[in-house]
Each structure stands twice: as C-alpha cells, then as structure tokens.
Amino acid sequence: MSKKPIIGITGSAKEVHGIDHSFVHSKYPEAVLRAGGVPVILPLGNEEAAKAWAEVIDGLLLSGGEDVDPQSYGGNPDPELGKVVLERDETEIALVAEVKNRKLPVFAICRGIASLNVALGGDLIQDIEREFEDPLKHHQEGPRTNASHDLHVEEGSRLHEIFGETLVPINSMHHQVLGKVAEGLKVTGKAPDGVIEAVEGTDPDWSVLGVQWHPEEMAVKYDNMQKLFDVFVEECEKAASEPV
Ligand code: MN
C-alpha cells in the first residue's frame, strides 16, 4: 500500500507589514493536491536543511519567482536584471544536488527551470528583449490562466508523450531564459522565436522536467496543464515505493 507522495515546493521570502514571511503562490500546492500529492513548502534554508529535506520529500517542485542572481553562474548583472535573492539560489542549488543523488523526480517551473539549469552547471540570458533578435512578447499582460504564445514540442520527447501534440499554446510571464543548457538536460520545447521553453533530463533513472511557462496557472482551466502535475506526482509515488 503506497502512501501519498510528499512534494517539496521551494518558497521565497516576502516582506509583509515590515516582517519577512515564507511564502509560495497558492496555485502550486493546489495543483499538487489535485494531483494526489502532499505539498510542503520549503522556505529559504541552508545546505544542511537541503540534505534533511531531501530525506523527507518524494519529489521536488522548483517554483517560480525572482530572477536567478548571475553571481550563481559566474555572470555580471545586466541593467534589465530584476529582483534577485541569492539565498534562494543557494537553497535551490543545494536541493538539486541532494535530489540528484537520491534520483528524486524534479518538476521545475519558470524561475525553477532557470534555477535547475544553473544548479546543473548551465547559465542564463538575463533579458530576452536585449539579447534576442525579433523576440515575441514573453511577458503577457492578459490573464495568467490564458495562453499567449505557441510551444513547439520536440517529437518523441516526454513532453510530447504527455501532451500528445507537438503544438501547444502556453502562457508566458518571464524575461529571463536559458542560455547554455547544462549537461544532463536536453531542450524539448521552444517558442516560435527560438526561446527555450522546456527541458528534460537525459538520465533515464532520474525524472526531470523543466518548463518556462506557468502550468499551475493554466491547470485551473486546462486538463493538459494539470496533467503535468498528475504525471509528476505519479512519478514521485513510484520513486517513493522504490527507495534508493
Ligand atoms: Mn515564453
């Protein structure tokens, strides 16, 4: 009899009434709950906390949020760099190393895909509009639940298997994007302008999916986006029943 898998969702710190609070946007735990997982929020921590968390959780969801600090990949800040929280980068980089050791499934969303890529040795383009020729608008102003640009899915990829289609409309709320893709990841989804929108792990024993859009927002309206969470939680359940 398998127990419900525990899904660690990375959080951040936010000042409310002058006091720092740990927080995560509610749409993430809600999508995990609908998928049958048990969400727990992982606040900013340290390397020791990351090790302890990885022993408790059955899967890691790297959530959206601030820009990744270029210091985390040996870069310097572009004038368009947004708010960064170096402590969050440090926490997530330590977590990725721990879950990689334990082969726990990872689902990385928006900032999460950037953080995952950096944690595995890749780097980022800090601002699409400054560095891409003829880019699409990747910071939509319509409702977050609605799609705004196309996603071209690599044929035969895991994402293709999940969606059953190679053209999928997605929402877009980002200005950073992957630059050099880390070893161990492969690109399986792109926007029409060439911006990387999805990566998957290449190790068949470690389930890793990263997406640049926000499926937790669309999942309220669209079954294919909820399916990403359903498949992830299912994999965490499998990983939980086959301990390392
Ligand atoms: Mn986009």
- How far apart, in whole angstroms, are the C-alpha atoms of residue 170 and residue 217? 10
pLDDT of residue 1: 46
Q: Which of 158, 146, 152 is nearest to 193 (CA)?
A: 152
pLDDT of residue 231: 98
Residue 150 CA to ligand 1 center (angstroms) comes to 8
Partnered with residue 150 across adjacent β-strands are: 169
Residue 134 CA to ligand 1 center (angstroms) comes to 14
Residue 145 CA to ligand 1 center (angstroms) comes to 14
Cα 211 to Cα 49, 148, 167, 171, distances in angstroms: 26, 15, 15, 11
- Residue 139 CA from chain centroid, whole number: 17
**DSSP-based three-state secondary structure for 149:** strand
Q: Per-10-residue mean pLDDT for the chain, 244 residues long?
A: 88 91 96 98 93 97 97 96 96 98 97 98 96 93 96 98 98 97 98 97 97 98 98 94 68
pTM for this predicted structure: 0.97
Contact 214, 148 (CB under 8 A): no
pLDDT of residue 2: 66
Residue 204 CA to ligand 1 center (angstroms) comes to 27
* Residues classed as catalytic: 110, 214, 216
pLDDT of residue 242: 75
pLDDT of residue 177: 97
Contact 173, 218 (CB under 8 A): no
Q: Which domains are seen in the chain, by residue range?
A: 6-241 (3.40.50.880)
- How far apart, in whole angstroms, are the C-alpha atoms of residue 6 and residue 236? 8
